[in-house]
Structure formats: structure tokens, C-alpha cells
Amino acid sequence: MPPANLRTRVKTSPWLRRLLPTRLVFKMAVRRGRARWEQSPEDRENAVAAMETIVAGTPRAHELIELARAHLIEGVVDQALFWQPWRKLSLDAQSMARLHDALGQGRGVLLSLTHTGQYHRATTSGFWSVERVAYVIVGRSFFEKPTAGYAGRYLARWRKLLQSPLVPSDGSFPVLQALLERGEIVLLHFDRPGPHETRFLGKTATLADGTARLALQTNALVLPIRARRLGYRGRLDVGAPLDPQDFAGVDELHNRLASLHEAWILEYPQSMRDPRSFGWGEWATAESWIRPKSAGRPA
């Protein structure tokens, strides 16, 4: 853990957090989130702006203020639970059957998820109740030395808990192709910036299409997944597998994934991370998510 002031060290101490009942931590976080909505105009403004980039143009746009309040509370809860001991994500019978069936076919498997819910827990296969490991693609900033303070300690804890082998995103396509061709599991975030113009969340978005391209080139199954919060516990949902042989090409498979993830996001839009914070920056707006090529690759 990098250095930090006393208050931050206490707040982020895994040893001290193990002494606190998670149920109590959850209830206290909900109260803090509600208080911040009532007392902080800056936090309210940021929450409204974040939710507007997500729900504008969708059937839930009219719920903006309610969802913004829920989004602010969700962020406080998520931060609090991050420092508690991580438990295995539960799976219902259907999700468990889909996961085991896909992993038992002897083919590569591409797990496709977005930055919604407890996505950080979905990146580590040790929390899905299966023995296989998944290769996780991460940006270059994940390998940088953690800075002093809260953000650096957050990154250090995530690295420690992550039980999956990491693949740097820069130039990763041939590496991932080789892994899938030998039957491995690869996890990719669908909602990262890229070149593929897509209709997503009621707006035009330029998204990465590596999942669809890899699936078609390696004949790997695609499994949409999401990790959502149920109270203070976590649940992993596994969607129906997508077989690339059932699709005419990259566009069709990519668009199907966009539709599936959009439907999941709109069930709990308040649990999606602000897209401006995971690679989109100022390019994510209520009108579109279009990151110009001149902006370079996100970290």
C-alpha cells in the first residue's frame, strides 16, 4: 500500500475493515450517500451530468434526477464495499449452467462486460465459483506505480485481489487470438472507446469491436456477463452464449452485443460508472460518445 494520511490509512486498512460487519458498512454508506445528495450541490451536479451521459436518448431519460440521486448513493456504497472482504459472487442455476456449458466445449470463451455494477469483482475468476482463470485486458495505467493517497491505495488493493493473469491492451490482439485458439478464457470490456460506430444507449458511440472480431477469427463463444449488487452481496449474471457461426460478420455480432449490454445497463443505469472516467473523458456527452482518433488510445 502506498503512503497516505492517517484518515485515509484507517479508511483503507484491510485489517481494520475485516473487523467491521459488511451489513453495517453498507447501511452507513447508504446514509452517507443520501446526505451528500442533500448537502452537496457539487456532488448533485456531477451525478446529474454522469447520468445524463448514460440515459439521455433512452426510455429512462425522464427519470434523470431520480437516477442521478441513486447513482450518487451507489457510488458511495460501491467505494465502501470495495474495502470490505470480497466474497464469491453468487450465480443462479441458469447462469451457472451457461457458464459451465460454455467452458466445457473445448473452445475459447470471450467474456463481455461493461463498467456497470460490481464490474471490478467480475474481473477476477476467483470470485465466480469456477476453477478456470480468465485473462484480463487492462490499460497501461494499471501497471503504473500507485501514487500516494486514496487513488493509489485503491489501485494497489485491486491489483492484490485480482487473481487473473493480465494482458496489456496495447497491441494485444494477436496475443488474445493465440489464447483463444488454445481454448483459454479472455475478458474484455465492451464499452471502451474504439473505431466502430454503434447505436448504444440511445446515441451514437464509437466503441471497441475487438470482442466480435476475435470471436469470428477464433470461433470463440461470447458470454455476456455482469456483476450486480444485491444488498451488500454480489451476483454474477451470465447471458445466453453467442456463437460467432450464427452471425454474418463483425457488424452483426457487435450490434447484438450492444443491444444485450444496453438492455442490462438500463435495468440499473444508476450502477454504471461515469463513462467520462474510464477512457471517454469529455467525449462522452448526452448527445454522443465519440472519441476522435486524434485523442489517442485511452490509458
Residue range 74-106, pLDDT digits in tens: 999 999 999 999 888 889 999 999 999 999 999
* E strand segments, 82-184: 109-113, 134-138, 166-168
The pLDDT value given to residue 129: 58
Checking if the pLDDT of 121 tops 70, the result is: yes
Binning pLDDT at 50, 70 and 90, where does residue 298 land?
low
Q: What share of the chain is helix, strand, coil (3-state, %, to 5)?
A: 50, 20, 30
Query: Model confidence over 206-258: pLDDT tens digits?
Result: 999 999 999 999 999 999 999 999 999 999 999 999 999 999 999 999 999 99
Average pLDDT, the chain: 93
Checking if the pLDDT of 22 tops 60, the result is: yes
Spatial distance between the Cα atoms of 261 and 274, rounded to a whole number of angstroms: 16
The reported pTM is 0.94
Binning pLDDT at 50, 70 and 90, where does residue 122 land?
confident
Residue 233 contacts residue 90 (beta carbons within 8 Å):
yes
The pLDDT value given to residue 162: 83
Binning pLDDT at 50, 70 and 90, where does residue 132 land?
confident
* E strand segments, 72-143: 109-113, 134-138
